[in-house]
Amino acid sequence: MKVLAAAVQMSSGPDKERNLALAERLIRQAAARGATIVVLPEVFNWRGRRTEQEAAAEDLNGVTLRAMARLARELGLFLVAGSITERIAGQTKAYNTSVLLDPDGAILGIYRKIHLFDIELSGRVSARESDAKMAGSEVTCVAAPPASFGLSVCYDLRFPELYRKLAERGATVVSIPSAFTYPTGEAHWEVLVRARAIENQVFVIAAGQFGPNVHGFSDYGNSMIVDPWGRVLVRAGSEREEVIVAPLDFEELHRMRRELPCLQHRRLF
């Protein structure tokens, strides 16, 4: 069975209304091109300064996910609502949360980013996500024919054990909504995305932010859809909003797993 999947590339800022309008336009573009699985980038609905986070954060019944549920239902999509800044009652920090919606607009899966981006690249990138965010702890994989969806977010990409757990739970498609920095993206983005696809024999839909951001550095873009053999089926550039679409052939995935059953040959756990 083949389905069309899309990755949406954006450059989000502090204007939530503008971001949501852009996301809707690009989602509609993906649906018009035949996509039935659509993945948005990390923090697609709002990306602002940490002093503004409390006001911008939402719970899972907020304006963003209501709008995304409406679109998923109207267009008949499996929609990975990238990630949002999720408000938790009684907490000063928030979660970086990815949500999978089904074609009826119902929430199928919720994943709170486990690995927080705390790095210092001298003179290039300084980031401490943990100053404003809490780390999640639960692995999320949801069976929803034609796929089993494994959810992850951006910096998770560097931690292969998460993706192996998703494969163990049956994932055939892994989403990686991201805001990968330009220096780390240029060095590692493609090789890591392809490695996660190859070693777990899954399709990977990696939707990224691009261009300068409010934190003073640039995001890499280069959104990709990669097949279980590690082939880049389609790739965006690094300088513009874009919708990329590619077919996911699940019969081919299962054939690969039969002919090269490396997931069954593991000896170390």
Q: Is the pLDDT of residue 119 over 80?
A: no
For the chain, percent of residues with pLDDT exceeding 90:
88
For the chain, percent of residues with pLDDT exceeding 70:
100
Q: Is the pLDDT of residue 126 over 80?
A: no
Residue 113 catalytic? yes
Q: How many angstroms separate the CA atoms of 124 and 102, rounded?
A: 39
How does pLDDT run across 130-161, given as a tens digit for each residue? 889 999 999 999 999 999 999 999 999 999 99
Q: How many angstroms separate the CA atoms of 56 and 39, rounded?
A: 22
How does pLDDT run across 54-66, given as a tens digit for each residue? 999 999 999 999 9
pTM of this prediction? 0.97
**What single-letter DSSP state applies at residue 181?**
B
- Among the listed residues 215, 220, 224, 169, the one whose alpha carbon sits nearest the alpha carbon of residue 197: 224
pLDDT for 269: 84
**Which domains are delineated in the chain?**
2-264 (3.60.110.10)
Computed over every residue of the chain, the mean pLDDT equals 95
How does pLDDT run across 199-235, given as a tens digit for each residue? 999 999 999 999 988 887 889 999 999 999 999 999 9
Given 113, 129, 133, 141, which residue is catalytic?
113
User: Mean pLDDT across the stretch 117-125?
Assistant: 76
One-letter amino acid at 2 equals K
Contact of 27 with 77, CB cutoff 8 Å: yes
Residue 76: left (phi > 0), alpha (psi -120 to 50), or beta? left
**What single-letter DSSP state applies at residue 187?**
I
Which of the four pLDDT bands, split at 50, 70 and 90, describes residue 106? very high
Which of the four pLDDT bands, split at 50, 70 and 90, describes residue 17? very high
- Among the listed residues 176, 171, 232, 175, the one whose alpha carbon sits nearest the alpha carbon of residue 202: 171
Query: Helix, strand, or coil here: 266?
Result: coil
Contact of 86 with 135, CB cutoff 8 Å: no
Given 58, 129, 154, 241, which residue is catalytic?
154
Which of the four pLDDT bands, split at 50, 70 and 90, describes residue 30? very high
pLDDT for 89: 93
Given 42, 58, 129, 242, which residue is catalytic?
42
What are the percentages of helix, strand and coil residues in the chain, rounded to 5? 30, 30, 35
Q: How many angstroms separate the CA atoms of 228 and 185, rounded?
A: 21
Contact of 241 with 26, CB cutoff 8 Å: yes
